[in-house]
Amino acid sequence: MSLKKALHCCIRRTQFFIDLPYEQKTGKELRKSELRAVVTGAVKLVSLWAKRNDYSQIKYDLSMTIILKNEAPYIREWLAYYISIGVEHFYIYDNDSQDDLKEIIDSFGDKVTYVRFSGIGRQMDAYNDALNKYGRYSRYMGFLDADEFIYLKEGQLNFVDFLHNYFADPHVGGFVINWQIFGSSFLKKKPHGLVTNNFVYRAKKDFKKNFHVKTIVDPRKVAGFFNDPHGAYYLPGYYAVNEKKQKVDGPFSHSVNTDRIQINHYFTKSEEEFIQKKSRGRATKNSQRTMQDFVDHDKNDILDDSMRIYNQRNKLE
């Protein structure tokens, strides 16, 4: 990544910019806000560069950061699954939820750091805030949504050991994983039980949406998140790779690589649940999804019940 891009990203990562209201981060006001933060952004960049090899405060091998709004029905399954594959801590940013999310999170005790995070369009702010406040405590930090489940294929190492293999390269700052979009499994109404048990049909591997990636980073090598939650921006000299150790720049890969690992993305769930999801709004934008989004993602071409089998073997039902 160029120094100019890293500086621009560090401007967005300053506490000044994170705390600005949404109206000052859009349109003509955005440029003004960025100019006001140039000096502090430059200071941030110098500080990050100086600490890029500082692992002295590590508490966790792997943590996850997530921003949620009214997703209490799904968070217990998500947390339990990630604990089962080795995630040690979670940073949960609550974007004005009105359900019992906090009560459920509290049942996981000290595995969770809970952060109230109000406002619209806050996803990048939440990610950058987590990097600022908590990044130093994790060897690796992932940034996912509540409908995304990382699945390692049979016979692989545990997840942290899997990541060590990629981050052993001193220039690797991130590891990206392709989506596999799961459809509604032809369900109109919300079924009982786990999402990963109920929705077992997905799109073909090379479906266009599956070129999206999500990212796990070494927080010390990251300049921050800019305009897209799928890919981080890295300090100069660092980059992200996929499972084939190929460089990936940005939110999309050139090919879909899921031989070793994939993200099961339960975008639609049932039609009823998608309508509820649509009404919640989006963490990245001040807009709602449409039913065309459901049509575009409701692909049920291939039976893939690998997560259901994993749940049975690991007693996650």
Report the alpha-carbon distance of residue 302 to residue 256 in Å, rounded.
16
pTM confidence score:
0.95
Cα separation, 270 vs 283, whole angstroms? 21
Buried b (16+ CB within 10 A) or exposed e, 267-293: bbbbbebbeebeebbebeeeeebeeee
Least trusted range by pLDDT, from 151-165, 217-231, 271-285: 271-285
Rounded to whole angstroms, the Cα distance separating 239 from 41 reads 20
Q: Summarize the confidence of residues 283-308 as an average pLDDT.
A: 86
Structural class in CATH, domain 51-313 = alpha beta
Q: SS3 of 40, please?
A: helix
Mean pLDDT in the chain? 95
Residue 21 confidence (pLDDT): 95
Q: So what's the pLDDT on residue 282?
A: 54
Q: Is the pLDDT of residue 256 over 70?
A: yes
For the chain, where do the domains classified as CATH 3.90.550 start and end? 51-313
Angle of CA points 171, 284, 206, to nearest 5°: 65
Please give the pLDDT value at position 277.
Answer: 84
List of E strands, 82-171: 89-94, 112-116, 138-143, 148-152
pLDDT band, residue 289 (cuts 50/70/90): confident
The answer to whether residue 165 scores a pLDDT higher than 90 is: yes
- Cross-strand partners of 303: 201
Q: How many CB atoms lie within 10 A of CB 255?
A: 13
Q: What is the pLDDT of residues 19-59, one digit of tens each?
A: 999 999 999 999 999 999 999 999 999 999 999 999 999 99
Angle at 218 between CA 256 and CA 129, to 5 degrees: 105
Mean pLDDT of 181-201: 98
Per-residue pLDDT, 301: 98
For residue 151, what are its two tokens? 């699945």
Residue 32, pLDDT score: 96
The number of CA neighbours under 13 Å toward the Cβ of 92 is: 28
pLDDT tens for residues 197-208?
999 999 999 999
Q: Which residue type, as a one-letter code, is found at position 225?
A: F
pLDDT, one tens digit per residue, over 112-121 is: 999 999 999 9
- To the nearest 10 degrees (0 to 180), the angle between helices 27-36 and 38-50 is 60
Q: Which of 246, 184, 183, 237 is nearest to 213 (CA)?
A: 246
